[in-house]
């Protein structure tokens, strides 16, 4: 479960704003399939990795991308870097 070559997700965090802090590896692993689908242009095919709710909300917030679940409230936010 790795991002495609040349694409990474920077400043990742889940649930709360923690800019500048490192993320627990488990959170990144949980969201990795979602990130891969978004990077590969298939955002409508993804479900929340915690509650399986669809669709997820994907929005641009302050020069970063936020992917969130309207059901359980979990989210990940950061920048895709190429």
The residue ranges of every structural domain in the chain are: 8-81
DSSP label at 82?
-
DSSP 5-41: TT-EEEEEEESS--TTSPPPHHHHHHHHHHHHHHHTT
User: Encoding tokens for residue 46?
Assistant: 């993804």
Whether the predicted pLDDT of 68 surpasses 90: yes
pTM above 0.75, yes or no: no
Question: pLDDT digits over 28-59, tens only?
Answer: 888 889 988 988 889 888 999 999 999 999 99
């Amino acid at each position: 479960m790795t991002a495609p070559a040349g694409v990474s997700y920077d400043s990742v965090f889940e649930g709360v704003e923690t800019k500048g802090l490192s993320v627990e590896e488990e959170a990144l692993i949980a969201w990795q399939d979602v990130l891969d689908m978004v990077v590969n242009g298939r955002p409508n095919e993804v479900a929340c990795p915690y509650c399986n709710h669809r669709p997820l909300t994907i929005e641009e917030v302050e020069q970063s991308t936020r992917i969130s679940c309207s059901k359980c409230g979990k989210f990940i936010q950061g920048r895709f870097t190429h």
